[in-house]
Amino acid sequence: MSRVVKVAIAGCGTVGGALVELLDRHAEAIQRRRGQRYAVTRVLVRDAKRPRGLPLDRALFTERVDEFLETPADIVVEAIGGTGVARTVAQGALRRGRRLVTANKALLRVEGPVLDALARVHRADGAALDFEAAVGGAVPVVRLLRESLAGQGLQRIRGVLNGTTNYILSRVERGLPFAEALAAAQRAGFAEQDPTRDLDGTDAADKIAVLAWLGFGVDPALLDVRCRGIDESLVQEARRAAARGRALRLVATAVRIGDGVHASVAPRVVPRGHPFAQVRDEQNLIQLESESAGTLTVAGAGAGGSATASAALADILRHGASDAAS
């Protein structure tokens, strides 16, 4: 008989809902490949009575954080966002020996080292922390920094880390008005209804801080990220750049300088042949420069529920594989 891996999901919005659908759609294939089933045992939401059109029994939904945390689960997925209830769920899951998967870059920026320490303290009980979905959507940059490039003498991290702003800039340079480009991103599911954190650069700043933590060992909460986002005033600059064979992109950078790390997020004009100019719409692209490995470039879908949920699913399945082998 196949082992059942119990999954509890906190948050059932764009990412949480997409994850439920992925688990349901690929259930048979996952069971064939992994020899085990993944069953959603509880979902934490703000309104348990709201119809959601998901393949789940409505009895699984709860509005109570305590009930959610006490529900038996092997893996807890935090897809709420923010740093309030999400912090309670994340810390509570790790303290109970659960494996935590989160897509929450804002939480990781202020709480990442704390959560990592909690996971280590409770590792013997089964606790672990994974957050591939927090940066880069479907781009596996977190795993690269945590595993493949550890000890490689990383010098600089640069990237187009926000799919919302990249989608807008890509459409603006083709002639679409800024407001229409933003509305199109929202209709496509690449922008929140309140896109402030994307447009002002905060989302990208959180992401580069998390990557700097992984790559350089700095405390992300203490890292000063100089930040400038995008707005309608950049429309003409984007179009002038396109007319000259260049591209305007919101670029996040973290670089080691001496014993410190300097980080920034800002719109930058790049040559058309540069990798950043080639990444369009909701795509992300990240370059990791190290002494030993040279420059490694990774790219892929960086916005939208499906891309983020696919990264969370990869973390879930990786947990399952390690459990089965142990």
CA-based angle 71:75:80, to the nearest 5?
Answer: 80
CA pair distance 271, 152, nearest whole angstrom: 29
User: N- to C-terminal Cα distance for the chain?
Assistant: 18
CA pair distance 271, 50, nearest whole angstrom: 49
Q: What pairs with residue 289 in β-bridges? A: 156, 295
E strand or H helix at 90: helix 85-95
Query: Residue 216: what residue type?
Result: F
CA pair distance 309, 25, nearest whole angstrom: 13
Q: Of 31, 36, 38, nearest to 55 (Cα)?
A: 38
CB 305 within 8 A of CB 15: yes
For residue 4, what are its two tokens? 């059942």
Beta strands 75-78; 99-102: pairing state: parallel
Q: Tell me, what DSSP letter sits at residue 234?
A: G
Alpha-carbon separation of residue 205 from 124, 239, 266, 278 (angstroms):
34, 25, 10, 22
Query: Residue 196: what residue type?
Result: T
Residues annotated as catalytic (active site), given as ranges: 207
